[in-house]
Amino acid sequence: MEIPKKILLVDDVKLFLDMERSFLNRERVQVTTATSGEEALKILRATRQHLVLMDHLMPGLDGASCCRQIKQDPALFTTPVVLITDGLPPEEVELCRGSGCDDIIQKPLNRSLLLEVVRRFLKLADRATPRVKSRMLVHYGLKERKTLHDYSVNLSAGGLFIETRVPLPLESIITLEFFLPGAEKTVCCKGKIVWINAEGSPFNPALPPGLGIEFLDLCRHDERRIQEFVLGECLGEPLA
């Protein structure tokens, strides 16, 4: 039997939580609710959620600030977060976009809009692949210059973690080039720094100082090569 996907609804107004839950009552999903950003973070760190739908305007930790913490957490950053706004001025909308959220939708919500968003992101979650340990020499740098080189710690179909003490800014776009173990051709693509494991104040103490990088423009061939490598590592099979 298919396991229901988990959705976290976050809003400080119970009326909106009840309405959003009612929109989803015919879907095969498991809904959890939170009434604050702080509560949402506790839930996310305790149980994996496949999608977060969160109101931006909440007292205390608002939606954008909560989303920023999610996207900077190595255990949570792949979780899709959709922020819900209500007639915000342009500067507030930009604040939401800068938090790293995956989408922004506006109130008033209706069932059709909410279901379209939920189905779109849960379908993306189905394609998620695991993360495996992989030590590869990665040449990288800002813009088109690959002036730096360090070793990766792990790899997934969506990105990799590089061990480094070079202080590149969060959300910088970089150029990457590396060989998959056993491969004859390099993988070349752009990447975005989506979280930083800073020395002295790491987000993940189990990892060395370094950069969490999301792949941006993988060609289909390289994307397939990485997926096959990750799957092979999970199954204990070498790269063909």
CA nearest neighbour of 49 among 89, 8, 84, 15: 8
- How much of the chain exceeds pLDDT 90, in percent? 52
Helix (H, G, I), strand (E, B) or coil at 204: coil
- In the structure encoding, which two tokens stand for residue 118, read together? 């939920």
Mean pLDDT of 6-14: 95
d(CA 17, CA 35): 8
pTM above 0.95, yes or no: no
Q: Which amino acid is at 5?
A: K
Q: Considering all CA atoms of the chain, what is the largest pairwise distance in Å, rounded to the nearest integer?
A: 58
Note the pLDDT tens digit of each residue in 224-233: 899 889 888 8
Pairing verdict, β 173-179 and 5-10: unpaired
Contact 154, 133 (CB under 8 A): yes
- Region of 68 (left: φ > 0; alpha: ψ -120 to 50; beta: rest) is alpha
pLDDT attached to residue 3: 66
Note the pLDDT tens digit of each residue in 91-139: 888 889 899 999 998 888 888 788 888 988 887 554 455 788 999 999 9
Domain ranges across the chain: 5-126, 132-235
Kindly tell me the sign of the dihedral angle through the C-alpha atoms of 199, 201, 202, 206. positive
- The β-bridge partners of 197 are 210
Select 5-126's CATH number: 3.40.190.10, 3.10.580.10, 3.40.50.2300, 3.60.20.10.
Answer: 3.40.50.2300
**What's the CATH code, domain 132-235?**
2.40.10.220
